[in-house]
Amino acid sequence: MKRDVLSALARLALALFLLMPLIPLAIWSVAHGWRFPALLPSELSLAAWSYALSPVSGVVGSLGLTFFIAAVTSVIATALAYPAGRALGRLRFPGRSVVLVLVLAPAVLPAIAVALGLQGLFLRMGWTGTIWGVVLAHLIPALPYPTLVLTAVFARFDPHHEDQARCLGARPLQVLLHVTLPAVLPGLRTGAVLAFLISWSQYLLTLSIGGGKVQTLPLLLFTFATSGRNDLTGAVAMIYVLPALAFMALLLRQRSKTAPLPNRTDR
């Protein structure tokens, strides 16, 4: 009972901590003139929102582009992570830990170093300024996450289940669809969402590889933020943050749903 209360409080504190920075942004987005030392804006207005959502601002198009790039990155990263995670989770081979560290490397290397190095390479290949160049660049920081998640998932998956399915008359494709994928589905989902969010939040790589031609939301948001339009910045920031939060919520909900059922007592 006491533990329940504590855990609820902890969750509330965590949620507040994560949502706190959004509160001033939300207020900014509807404020019309909000100067120090006023605690709250004197007048409210939806002007910033209507501008942000109008075709003139380019926010909606940019939202679609960001979503597209993140979705494609997520699908490709998860598809590549599946065989990698399967091999790393299942096989014990010399140098496995070295491979794991190398897989993790893109996530720990400073983004600026990666971006500068990639830019030189991509320029030479003629991939800069294209959506696909940006996707390719996003794959680098995105790949480690689904790979590590699937490594953990496959380490717990008993491959004898696949043998058993074959013995019960399942063809290899049926084994994949009816046995392996359902077993690793939570990991696939988590990995895909993480890869999506990594791509969604990329700024530096998009800027250096996209060369300003691929205007994702974070780039646009930065433009507004540096132009001093607090109300617009607030509105675009909300538009930028909400889909990511929705994805996180979806992920958490799915995780609690797939949590193992408690054992029955009537054994």
Partner 1 sequence: MKVPLQLSGLRLTYPGSATPTLDGLDLSVGAGSLTALLGPSGTGKTTLLKLIAGLLHPDAGDIRLGDRSLLPLPPERRKVVLVFQAALLFPHLTVAQNIGFGLRMQGLPTDVIARHTDAMLDRLHLTGLGARRPDALSGGQTQRVALARALILEPDLLLLDEPLSSLDPGLREAMRALIRSLQRELGVTTLVVTHDQAEAVALADSIALMQGGRIVQHATPEVIFARPATLAVARFFGGENVLPGQARGGVFESAIGRLPLPAGTADGPGSLTLRPEAVTLGPGADARAARVMECRFLGTQTRVELDLGGTRLVALVAPHLAGGLAVGQSVGVTLPPSALWFLRENPEAPPAVPE
Q: Binding residues for partner 1, per CB under 8 A?
A: 158, 160-161, 163-171, 174, 178-179, 182-183, 260-261, 263-264, 267
How many other C-beta atoms can be found within 10 angstroms of the C-beta atom of residue 185? Answer: 13
* Residue 3 vs 264, nearer CB to partner 1: 264
Task: Characterize 120-146 residue by residue with b for buried, 16 or more Cβ atoms within 10 angstroms of its Cβ, and e for exposed.
Answer: eebeeeebbebeebbbbbbbbbbbbbb
CB of 149 to partner 1, least distance (A): 18
What's the helix, strand, coil split of the chain in %, to 5?
A: 75, 0, 25
* Residue 21 vs 159, nearer CB to partner 1: 159
Cα–Cα dist 177/22, whole Å:
41
CB of 166 to partner 1, least distance (A): 4
* Residue 164 vs 227, nearer CB to partner 1: 164
* Residue 171 vs 213, nearer CB to partner 1: 171
CA 109, 111, 112 angle in degrees (round to 5)?
Answer: 120
**Contact assessment for residue 29 and residue 49, using Cβ atoms and an 8 Å cutoff:** yes
CB of 190 to partner 1, least distance (A): 16
CB of 165 to partner 1, least distance (A): 7
Task: Tell me if residue 54 falls in helix, strand or coil.
Answer: coil
* Residue 61 vs 172, nearer CB to partner 1: 172
Task: Tell me if residue 216 falls in helix, strand or coil.
Answer: coil
**Contact assessment for residue 31 and residue 230, using Cβ atoms and an 8 Å cutoff:** yes
Cα–Cα dist 6/159, whole Å:
40
Tokens of 173: 């494709």
CB of 177 to partner 1, least distance (A): 10
CB of 100 to partner 1, least distance (A): 24
* Residue 53 vs 183, nearer CB to partner 1: 183
CB of 158 to partner 1, least distance (A): 7
Cα–Cα dist 237/23, whole Å:
11
Of 91, 114, 69, 97, nearest to 208 by C-alpha is: 114
Residue entry with tokens 């390479």: 121
* Residue 183 vs 251, nearer CB to partner 1: 183
